[in-house]
Amino acid sequence: MAFIKICGITNIEDAQAAIDMGADALGFVFAESPRKVSPETVQTIIARLPSDRLYIGVFVNHSLKEMLEIKTFCGIDTVQIHDEKALDFSVNQGFKIIMGLRVKPNTSVPGSIDPNVILLLDTYSKDAHGGTGKTFDWQKAVSIAKQRPIILAGGLTPDNVIHAIETVHPFAVDVSSGVEKNKGQKDHGKMKAFIHNVRKPTIHPSAHKSMTMKAHFTPNIQMASQ
């Protein structure tokens, strides 16, 4: 079955509920967004959560130095980057990062992306880098998912996530607005239903589930200098 990332976490109550319900990873947005959080808030939240889950910082147009400083300060495990700076990362120590790729009708995977970079496929919007609540044509993700592990995002909800997984067979699914009652505030009932549906035994199993999501990401990261 696919791993589960709950993104747009802004407070300890939602974070703890997601963990208790079985989420594999939490995402914290440092980019301009209704879900933006401060490094101080994230540090406080992560300090109260178990260490066996994956904690991800979401960045847009930050410098590599800024991302490293925030990563170290907060205690996040890896970074999710929504711009071409993802290609500046050196992953020769085995540390996997996440690169957001917004899907357009003519989207293709750049050949220069390192195999250790996990692609997150999201819906294209000229106004936002994520959290739009809109899906894209999942058939465009099928061929990419056959080539490399992907995280499927973009308009996922408790109602459509089973179909999404059965169609794409992603490494993980990412949800934000689909389990909210207000932007930045999770609906715990929707979150529970989403996680329950992903965990249903009828969902096509994946061999990677013998490991935790965090086990796919090592504790060291090296960035190429600009």
- 109: domain CATH number? 3.20.20.70
Average pLDDT over residues 133-159: 86
Number of structural domains (the chain) is: 1
Q: Which residue has the higher pLDDT, 147 or 28?
A: 28
DSSP one-letter code for 47: H
Joined together, the tokens standing for residue 204 give 């096509």
Own/partner long-range contacts of 95-100 (Cβ < 8 Å, ≥24 apart): 95/217, 95/218, 95/219, 95/220, 95/221, 95/222, 96/216, 96/217, 96/218, 97/221, 98/56, 98/151, 100/58, 100/129, 100/130
DSSP sequence for 75-100: T-SEEEE-SGGGGGEE-TTS---EEE
- pLDDT per residue over 14-39, tens digit each? 999 999 999 999 999 999 999 999 99
| 74 given a catalytic annotation | no
99 vs 122: CA distance, rounded Å? 10
Residue 125 reports pLDDT greater than 90: no
User: Of these residues, 14, 24, 77, 122, which one is catalytic?
Assistant: 122
Over the chain, what is the mean pLDDT?
A: 82
Residue 92 reports pLDDT greater than 50: no
Domain with 165 in it: 3-223
Residue 96 reports pLDDT greater than 80: no
Q: Is 153 helix (H, G, I), strand (E, B) or coil?
A: coil
Q: What is the pLDDT of residue 99?
A: 87
Q: Which residue has the higher pLDDT, 135 or 218?
A: 135
Q: What is the pLDDT of residue 214?
A: 83
Residue 222 reports pLDDT greater than 50: no
Residue 197 reports pLDDT greater than 60: yes
| 7 given a catalytic annotation | yes
Q: What is the pLDDT of residue 203?
A: 62
Q: What is the pLDDT of residue 221?
A: 40
pLDDT-based confidence at 209, cuts 50/70/90?
low
Q: Which residue has the higher pLDDT, 19 or 113?
A: 19
Residue 113 reports pLDDT greater than 80: no
Residue 210 reports pLDDT greater than 70: no
User: Of these residues, 7, 24, 77, 174, which one is catalytic?
Assistant: 7
Give residue 132's identity as a one-letter amino acid code. Answer: T
Residue 224 reports pLDDT greater than 60: no
pTM to 2 decimal places: 0.86
Average pLDDT over residues 207-217: 67
Q: Are 223 and 63 in contact (CB under 8 A)?
A: no
Q: Which residue has the higher pLDDT, 154 or 12?
A: 12
Residue 94 reports pLDDT greater than 50: no
